[in-house]
């Protein structure tokens, strides 16, 4: 076993003991009551999952193993001469719960580089799609195709002891993450660059190599990728992509099947596809106004128009957050350093000044502040990555880090199949009227 795997296993064994004792002592402790409104309205606020890798505070934003995004930008290892954190380091942190050294991050980098070879049949599956197929559809299909290699599925078929499920889940996780940048870059170059593919450079870090395979050699774009792939990695367990991966994994579907489920959820416009929607919304606004730099008054009027038409303002609002998303702020800081005069980036900042009071004024939107997706596309566009349909694939490559680290924890802790109770409206009516449960 590699030392990271050993360390993970020993941490998970300790955690499993603690959980056992917690349940033995406090298993019957009630942590909250659930209202009928919560049951009907997307289970908002119901605590029903354990996700060890990160925790979301409505006001402060995400913390990965206790570290905020600004802390991670400061404390995680960087490439020599770089300023942005290596996602390899964040993965290590989420997996073992300790800040990595440079050597630890390099070890993960080297492991992923060694495992990054993608079998040809995966490319054949991608090639079978018409070019018009959405990149997220191609991405998900390629992940499913890669699943033919699942060590967990094979071992399960061979009949392994449940105590060692985690070992095969870990191996699949490392291989899957290692291969995602190559698959994503292949889809990008095939769809937008006439199939002119770029071979990987095994000397680069995971993000640097991804940027290289996409066709970007600019060091500041590589820095953007490191930041991007770090901040999108995890957002505790209840969001659609994390929950879907966890749920499907709980049926002992292998990590490829589980992650593909997460990605089909990420592809929804209210979740990860919002990064594409933001840029589409800005582009349409600029086209309608015939201006690359709409004024704040024009932006305000366009937001009102969007709301009147019964549409959402993409990039704003959140099911849990109630303040500006620190992932938005991190990207804003990056923009101030690298591209403060970019017209689209400036428009994003103007929207940030104008949108919150208007959204708050509706009286129904619980969080009028921007989320991660409000900013990401403008930075990508600045470097020439203008193909909006591809943006959610970038999000997906990053999200693999959190949801697959969590899947390793799920199996190491022996979490059972997930099966919450559902009710019918008839049940609800009888319960509230007579206080009686039916069926």
Binding site for ligand CMX (CB under 6 A): 239, 270-272, 274, 307, 312-319, 364-367, 371-373
Nearest residue to ligand CMX, by Cβ distance, number only:
317
Point out the catalytic residue in the list 167, 172, 254, 373.
373
Q: Where do runs of H (alpha helix) occur along 193-295? A: 206-214, 219-231, 240-250, 255-266, 274-289
Taking the least distance from each CB to ligand CMX, the nearer of 143 and 273 is: 273
The question of whether 304 is a catalytic residue gets the answer no
Helix or strand run (H / E) with residue 427: helix 425-434
Q: How many CA atoms, within 13 angstroms, populate the side-chain half-sphere of residue 307?
A: 17
Taking the least distance from each CB to ligand CMX, the nearer of 167 and 234 is: 234
Taking the least distance from each CB to ligand CMX, the nearer of 56 and 108 is: 56
Taking 3-state DSSP, the helix, strand and coil percentages for the chain, each rounded to the nearest 5, stand at: 60, 5, 35
The Cα-based distances of 390 to 40, 69, 135, 259, 397 in angstroms read 33, 25, 6, 18, 11
Q: Measured from the CB of residue 392, what is the shortest distance to ligand CMX in angstroms?
A: 9
Taking the least distance from each CB to ligand CMX, the nearer of 284 and 337 is: 284
Q: Measured from the CB of residue 288, what is the shortest distance to ligand CMX in angstroms?
A: 18
Listed residue (335, 147, 120) closest to 253, CA to CA? 147
Q: Measured from the CB of residue 2, what is the shortest distance to ligand CMX in angstroms?
A: 33
Q: Measured from the CB of residue 243, what is the shortest distance to ligand CMX in angstroms?
A: 11
CB neighbour burial string for 128-147, b if at least 16 within 10 angstroms, e if fewer: ebeeebbbbebbbbbbbbbb
The question of whether 271 is a catalytic residue gets the answer yes
Point out the catalytic residue in the list 134, 212, 232, 271.
271
Q: Measured from the CB of residue 268, what is the shortest distance to ligand CMX in angstroms?
A: 9
Helix or strand run (H / E) with residue 182: helix 165-192
Taking the least distance from each CB to ligand CMX, the nearer of 182 and 235 is: 235
The question of whether 373 is a catalytic residue gets the answer yes
Q: d(Cα 236, Cα 234) in Å, to the nearest integer?
A: 6
Point out the catalytic residue in the list 232, 235, 243, 318.
318
User: Catalytic positions, please?
Assistant: 271, 318, 373
């Amino acid at each position: 076993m590699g030392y990271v795997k050993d360390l993970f296993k020993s941490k998970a064994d300790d955690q499993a003991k603690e959980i056992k004792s917690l349940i033995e002592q406090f298993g019957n402790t009630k942590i909250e009551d659930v209202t009928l409104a919560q049951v009907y309205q997307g289970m908002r606020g119901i605590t029903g999952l354990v996700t060890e890798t990160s925790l979301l505070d409505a006001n402060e934003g995400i913390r990965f193993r206790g570290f905020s995004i600004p802390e991670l930008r400061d404390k995680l290892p960087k490439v020599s001469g770089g300023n942005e954190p290596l996602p390899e380091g964040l993965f290590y942190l989420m997996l073992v719960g300790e800040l990595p050294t440079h050597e630890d991050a390099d070890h993960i980098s080297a492991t992923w580089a060694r495992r990054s070879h993608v079998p040809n049949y995966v490319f054949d599956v991608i090639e079978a799609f018409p070019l018009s197929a959405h990149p997220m559809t191609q991405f998900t299909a390629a992940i499913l195709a890669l699943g033919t290699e699942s060590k967990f599925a094979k071992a399960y078929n061979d009949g392994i002891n449940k105590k060692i499920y985690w070992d095969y889940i870990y191996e699949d996780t490392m291989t899957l993450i290692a291969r995602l940048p190559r698959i994503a870059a292949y889809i990008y170059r095939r769809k937008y660059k006439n199939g002119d593919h770029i071979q990987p450079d095994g000397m680069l870090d995971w993000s640097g190599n991804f940027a290289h395979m996409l066709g970007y050699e600019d060091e500041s774009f590589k820095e953007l990728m490191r930041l991007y792939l770090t901040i999108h990695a995890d957002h505790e367990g209840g969001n659609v992509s994390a929950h879907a991966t966890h749920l499907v994994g709980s049926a002992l579907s292998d990590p490829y099947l589980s992650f593909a489920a997460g990605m089909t959820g990420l592809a929804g416009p209210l979740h990860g596809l919002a990064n594409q929607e933001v840029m589409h919304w800005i582009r349409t606004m600029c086209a309608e106004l015939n201006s690359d730099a709409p004024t704040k008054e024009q932006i305000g009027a366009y937001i009102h128009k969007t709301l009147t038409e019964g549409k959402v303002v993409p990039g704003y609002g959140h099911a849990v957050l109630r303040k500006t998303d620190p992932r938005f702020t991190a990207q804003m800081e990056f923009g101030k350093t690298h591209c403060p005069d970019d017209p689209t980036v400036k428009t994003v900042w103007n929207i940030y000044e104008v949108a919150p009071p208007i959204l708050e004024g509706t009286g129904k939107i619980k969080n009028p502040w921007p989320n991660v997706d409000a900013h990401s596309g403008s930075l990508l566009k600045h470097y020439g990555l203008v193909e909006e349909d591809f943006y959610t694939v970038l999000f997906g490559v990053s999200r693999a880090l959190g949801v697959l680290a969590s899947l390793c924890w799920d199996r190491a802790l022996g979490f059972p199949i997930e099966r919450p109770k559902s009710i019918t409206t008839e049940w609800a009516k009888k319960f509230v009227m007579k206080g009686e449960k039916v069926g």
